[in-house]
């Protein structure tokens, strides 16, 4: 197993957390076939790793049932790594995988990105355990395109331990694909039709009542809209 040395602080912008890596050859970025993001995120620790999302994306060893998909490192500083070529600026990359430990009941494991040897950034964390597989998921967006990037695992406190990883996946999305999926998700899961009926204490409808709505959570947008088919209807 080759060590790739240490990296100084540096340059990629973290995009959305959640990671995993093994020994890998040169991998070139590719686009997803349909542009749909997989929201699946396992919060429970499992006896076996699930298959990789997106069939591994642009990474090898996508299937957790493949013995070649299990890669181990005994250093708490740098793990076996994926080398990925020609990552693009503004492309949204999602990274996921399964992690298991030996030599410690549990530890905080981070996945890190080192683009063009210009520093490292955390692109995901997970509290891994020795008795089961923990799922790590996240991602990143680069400030500018890179020729060669390395993704590797690291024990957060850098104490030596054996880290095993499986079912890694790195999947790119263009801004157009990401926007398309956001809009579709909003349409299917967020938008709801609501009819407000105002009545007095006796249940009699109140005509001309004024209604006010108070938003209690900033995480869920609230508003109203009229479809263009209604506004443009001459009837």
229, part of any domain: no
210, part of any domain: no
Any idea which of 2-6, 120-124, 231-235 has the lowest mean pLDDT?
Answer: 2-6
Domain containing residue 40: CATH number: 2.60.120
100, part of any domain: yes
Q: Is the pLDDT of residue 9 over 60?
A: no
pLDDT tens digits along 203-230: 899 988 888 878 777 766 666 666 665 6
Q: Residue 117: which domain range?
A: 13-179
**Residue 234 and residue 231: Cα distance in Å, rounded?**
8
93, part of any domain: yes
* Nearest alpha-carbon partner for 221 in 190, 199, 196: 190
Supply the Cα-derived Rg of the chain in whole angstroms.
23
85, part of any domain: yes
Q: Which two tokens stand for residue 181?
A: 């999926």
More confident of the two residues 34 and 96: 96
Q: Determine the 3-state secondary structure of 150 from DSSP.
A: strand
**Residue 61 and residue 25: Cα distance in Å, rounded?**
11
218, part of any domain: no
pLDDT tens digits along 90-145: 899 999 999 998 878 999 999 999 898 778 889 999 999 999 999 999 999 998 89
165, part of any domain: yes
Output the pLDDT for position 137: 95
pLDDT tens digits along 136-195: 999 999 988 988 888 888 888 887 778 888 888 999 998 888 888 878 877 777 677 777
Instruction: Report CA 104 to chain centroid distance, whole Å.
Output: 26
Please compute, for residue 23, the number of CA atoms within 13 A of its CA located in the half-sphere on the CB side: 8
Output the pLDDT for position 118: 79
Output the pLDDT for position 48: 93
* Nearest alpha-carbon partner for 12 in 173, 152, 122: 122
130, part of any domain: yes
Output the pLDDT for position 13: 30
Q: Is the pLDDT of residue 69 over 60?
A: no
Number of folded domains that form the chain:
1
Percent of the chain with pLDDT over 90: 22
């Amino acid at each position: 197993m080759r060590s790739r040395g240490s990296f100084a602080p540096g340059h990629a912008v973290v995009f959305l957390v959640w990671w995993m890596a093994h020994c890998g050859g040169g991998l070139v970025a590719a686009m997803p076939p349909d542009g749909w993001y997989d929201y699946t995120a396992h919060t429970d620790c499992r006896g076996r790793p699930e298959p990789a999302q997106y069939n591994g994306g642009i990474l090898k060893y996508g299937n957790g049932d493949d013995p070649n998909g299990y890669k181990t490192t005994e250093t708490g500083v740098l793990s076996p790594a994926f080398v990925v070529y020609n990552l693009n600026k503004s492309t949204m990359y999602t990274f996921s995988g399964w992690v298991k430990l030996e030599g410690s009941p549990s530890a905080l494991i981070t996945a890190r990105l080192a683009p063009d040897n210009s520093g490292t950034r955390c692109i995901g964390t997970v509290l891994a355990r020795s008795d089961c597989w923990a799922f790590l998921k996240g991602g990143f967006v680069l400030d500018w395109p890179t020729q060669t990037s390395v993704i590797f695992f690291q024990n957060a406190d850098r104490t030596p331990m054996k880290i095993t990883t499986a079912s890694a996946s790195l999947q790119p999305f263009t801004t157009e694909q990401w926007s398309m999926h956001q809009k579709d998700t909003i349409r299917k899961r967020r938008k709801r039709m609501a009819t407000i009926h105002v009545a007095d204490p006796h249940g009699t409808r109140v005509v001309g009542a004024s209604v006010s709505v108070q938003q209690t959570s900033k995480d869920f947008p609230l508003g109203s809209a009229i479809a263009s088919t209604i506004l443009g209807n001459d009837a």
